């Protein structure tokens, strides 16, 4: 996934590509296994080897594990061809067009430029003096898992029964009626990555959602988006479990349990690799299939490059250690989250092709966040690494444009001279890269999903707000007509449909 990452240098891309060759083979092999299993179930026969090594027919079907039993049922809402004219544009990939045009057709960005050709019957919106951006992406959200109202009955983001809970899924606790979704939509957020909390070393799987009203989480789930694995280092795991008199109670304990768990995962991966090779060469027997372990299955997905690691971590020294841990066990860290000291290791992040998802100016609320600076995000950008603005907060998600603007301004006051259009990549293509979706969202490029926000002014101004928001080309929010989703939970409640 990261071999074609945004702004990765050619040497790094080549190294990543070579490293991924066996993983590609394993993915192809698994597709073959799924096909073999399907044929076996249909024909009640599979090929197994006899004593002479030749394939023989058997009535014993090869079991097939469904890697995605909770598949997306998301379908885009209805759209019409729409042309925005006269707009100032941050394209999300580092480009700017003044007085340009954006065309949306069939849920995709069809064209962008100074002038574009639109088909007959296209709805035209005069955006002169206004601004257009791709939909805002929040890579670190807990909406749905910690919904509003914030009461204990709704607290479902942390499974604090053990330091390793890689088997849990954030999506299994998402409440689609969370009023926070519509409030984030009114702030231009079209895609959000919902993560488990940070109490555990291995907290479970994260899920990417489209910010649309739906009855079920599957109705919001971004089709074919990769899962993530939430990991956490530092104070949280050692505090939670050390206070119970169990491991980990120190940073040493954190790393010892990381290593033990990853070693278990490597051995589990090898065992399943051997099984899949038997399926490929026709010598597999269903009775020899390894036992399934849901915890290890998630970690195996990471080792095979199918699941992306999102790692809660504050201190520079610990992030450097985690990068070494990843090298030791052969996986990739997609992004460090919070990363308050990322400015100290921007070069290491760039070399590892690892993003840092950060706040603009949160710091000092615990010891590992003490050495924060307001120029953190722009300094990471200046080192050529992948910088991202994230929220980790149900209110902060409604102000990601302002958080980005604060960090950008702080960096430029420090003499970094970062263009505004570059700053918008922090909630644009960089954010899309961290969750494995840079080919679909994050920038206004032809062929990508038409997630588009029309702002009443420069979105890097405190005084600007979205006027209209499209998701897959469908108009989902319109301040002029009052169009906005309101969940069943909100109906008849004080502040129904309110935006902060």
Give the model confidence (pLDDT) of 153-164 as tens digits. 999 999 999 999
Q: Give yes or no for residue 33 having a pLDDT over 90.
A: no
- Structural domain containing residue 161: 135-441
pLDDT of residue 55: 39
pLDDT digits over 177-190, tens only? Answer: 999 999 999 999 99
Cβ partners under 8 Å of residue 79, min gap 6: 104, 106, 107, 450, 470, 472, 473, 474, 475
pLDDT digits over 334-347, tens only? Answer: 999 999 999 999 99
The phi, psi pair for 218, rounded to 5°, reads -60, -30
Within-domain flag for 199: yes
Mapping DSSP onto H, E and C, the string for the chain reads: CHHHCCCCCHHHHHHHHHHHHHHHHHHHHHHHHHHHHHHHHHHCCEEEECCCCCEEEECCCCCCCCCCCCCCCCCCCCCCCEEEEEEEEECCCCCEEEEEEEEEECCEEEEEECCCCCCCCCEEEECCCCEEEECEEEEEECCCCCCCCCCHHHCCCCCCCCCECCCCEHHHHCCCCCCHHHHHHCCCEEEEEECCCCCCCEEEEEEEEECCCCCCCCCCECCCCCCEEEEECCHHHHHHHHCCCCCCCCHHHHHHHHHHHHHHHHHHHHHHHHHHHHHHHCCCCHHHCCCCCHHHHHHHHHHCCCCEEEEEECCHHHHHHHHHHHHHHCCCEEEEEECCCHHHCHHHHHHHCCEEEECCCCCCCCHHHCCCCCCHHHHHHHCCCCEEECCCCCCHHHHHHHHHHHHHHHHHHCCCCCCHHHHHHHHCHHHHHHCCCCCCCCCCCCCCECCEEEECCCCCCCCCCEEEEEECCEEEEECCCCECCCCCCCCCCCCCCCCC
pLDDT of residue 36: 47
Above pLDDT 90, what percent of the chain? Answer: 83
Mean of the pLDDT values across residues 143-171?
95
Mean of the pLDDT values across residues 356-373?
97
Within-domain flag for 370: yes
Mean of the pLDDT values across residues 232-261?
97
pLDDT of residue 31: 56
Q: Give yes or no for residue 7 having a pLDDT over 60.
A: no
Within-domain flag for 86: no
| Res. 32 pLDDT band, cuts 50 70 90 | low
CB atoms near residue 398 (< 10 Å): 20
pLDDT of residue 18: 37
How many residues does the structure list for the chain? 500
pLDDT digits over 265-282, tens only? Answer: 999 999 999 999 999 999
| Res. 382 pLDDT band, cuts 50 70 90 | very high
Q: Give yes or no for residue 493 having a pLDDT over 60.
A: yes
For residue 281, what are its two tokens? 């060469």
Within-domain flag for 79: no
Mean of the pLDDT values across residues 322-328?
98
Cβ partners under 8 Å of residue 244, min gap 6: none
pLDDT of residue 497: 78
Q: Give yes or no for residue 414 having a pLDDT over 90.
A: yes
Q: Give yes or no for residue 222 having a pLDDT over 60.
A: yes
Above pLDDT 70, what percent of the chain? Answer: 88
Q: Give yes or no for residue 17 having a pLDDT over 80.
A: no
| Res. 25 pLDDT band, cuts 50 70 90 | low
Among 352, 359, 316, which Cα is nearest to 334's?
352
Place of tokens 């990843």: 326
Pick the more confident residue, 168 or 495. 168
The CATH number covering residue 412 comes to: 3.20.20.140
Pick the more confident residue, 138 or 62. 138
Within-domain flag for 316: yes
> Model pTM?
0.90
Number of domains comprising the chain: 1
Q: Give yes or no for residue 202 having a pLDDT over 70.
A: yes
For residue 184, what are its two tokens? 């984030």
Within-domain flag for 322: yes
pLDDT of residue 437: 98
Within-domain flag for 173: yes
In this structure, of 4-13, 83-92, 191-200, 397-406, the range with the lowest mean pLDDT score is 4-13
Within-domain flag for 128: no
CA dist list (Å): 348 to 232, 238, 385, 454, 471: 19, 26, 9, 37, 35
Q: Give yes or no for residue 431 having a pLDDT over 60.
A: yes
pLDDT of residue 60: 75
For residue 108, what are its two tokens? 């995709």
Q: Give yes or no for residue 49 having a pLDDT over 60.
A: no
pLDDT digits over 61-107, tens only? Answer: 888 899 899 999 999 999 999 999 999 999 999 999 999 999 999 99
Residue 82 contacts residue 125 (beta carbons within 8 Å):
yes
């Amino acid at each position: 996934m990261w071999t074609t990452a945004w702004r990765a240098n050619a040497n790094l891309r080549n190294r990543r590509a070579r490293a991924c060759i066996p993983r590609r083979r394993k993915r192809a092999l698994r597709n073959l296994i799924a096909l073999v299993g399907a044929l076996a179930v249909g024909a009640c026969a599979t090929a197994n080897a006899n004593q002479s090594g030749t394939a023989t027919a058997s009535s014993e079907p090869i079991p097939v594990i469904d890697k995605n039993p909770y598949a997306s049922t998301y379908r885009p809402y209805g759209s019409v061809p729409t042309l925005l004219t006269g707009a100032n544009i941050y394209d999300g990939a580092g480009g700017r067009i003044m007085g340009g045009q954006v065309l949306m057709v069939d849920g995709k960005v069809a064209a962008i430029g100074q002038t574009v050709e639109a088909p007959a019957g296209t709805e035209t919106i005069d955006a002169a003096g206004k601004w257009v951006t791709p939909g805002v992406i929040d890579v670190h959200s807990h909406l749905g898992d910690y919904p509003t109202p914030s009461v204990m009955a709704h607290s479902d983001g942390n499974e604090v029964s053990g330091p390793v809970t890689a088997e849990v899924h954030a999506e299994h606790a998402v409440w689609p009626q969370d009023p926070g979704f519509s409030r984030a939509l009114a702030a231009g957020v079209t895609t959000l990555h919902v993560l488990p909390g940070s109490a555990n070393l291995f907290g479970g799987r994260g899920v990417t959602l489209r910010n649309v009203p739906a009855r079920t989480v599957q109705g919001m789930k971004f089709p074919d988006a990769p899962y993530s694995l939430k990991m956490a280092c530092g104070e949280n795991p050692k505090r939670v479990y050390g206070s119970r008199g169990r491991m980990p109670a120190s940073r040493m304990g954190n790393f010892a349990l990381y290593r033990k768990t990853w070693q278990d995962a490597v051995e589990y991966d090898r065992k399943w690799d051997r099984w899949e090779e038997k399926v490929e060469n026709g010598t597999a027997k269903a009775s020899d299939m390894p036992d399934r372990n849901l915890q290890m299955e998630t970690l195996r997905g990471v080792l095979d490059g199918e699941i992306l690691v999102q790692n809660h971590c504050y201190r520079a020294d610990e992030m450097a250690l985690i990068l070494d841990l990843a090298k030791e066990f052969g996986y990739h860290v997609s992004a460090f989250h919070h990363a308050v000291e990322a400015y100290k290791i921007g070069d290491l992040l760039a070399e590892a092709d690892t993003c840092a998802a950060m706040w603009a100016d949160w710091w000092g609320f615990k010891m590992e966040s003490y050495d924060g600076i307001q120029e953190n995000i722009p300094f990471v950008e200046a080192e050529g690494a992948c910088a991202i603005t994230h929220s980790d907060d149900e209110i902060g998600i409604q102000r990601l444009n302002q958080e980005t603007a604060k960090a950008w301004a702080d960096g430029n006051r420090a003499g970094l001279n970062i263009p505004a259009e570059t700053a918008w990549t922090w909630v644009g293509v960089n954010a899309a890269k961290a969750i494995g979706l840079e080919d679909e969202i994050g920038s206004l490029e032809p062929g990508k999903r038409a997630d588009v926000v029309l702002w009443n002014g420069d979105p890097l101004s405190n005084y600007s707000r979205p006027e209209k928001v499209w998701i897959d080309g469908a108009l989902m929010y319109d301040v002029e007509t009052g169009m906005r989703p309101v969940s069943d939970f909100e109906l008849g409640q004080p502040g129904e449909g309110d935006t902060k």
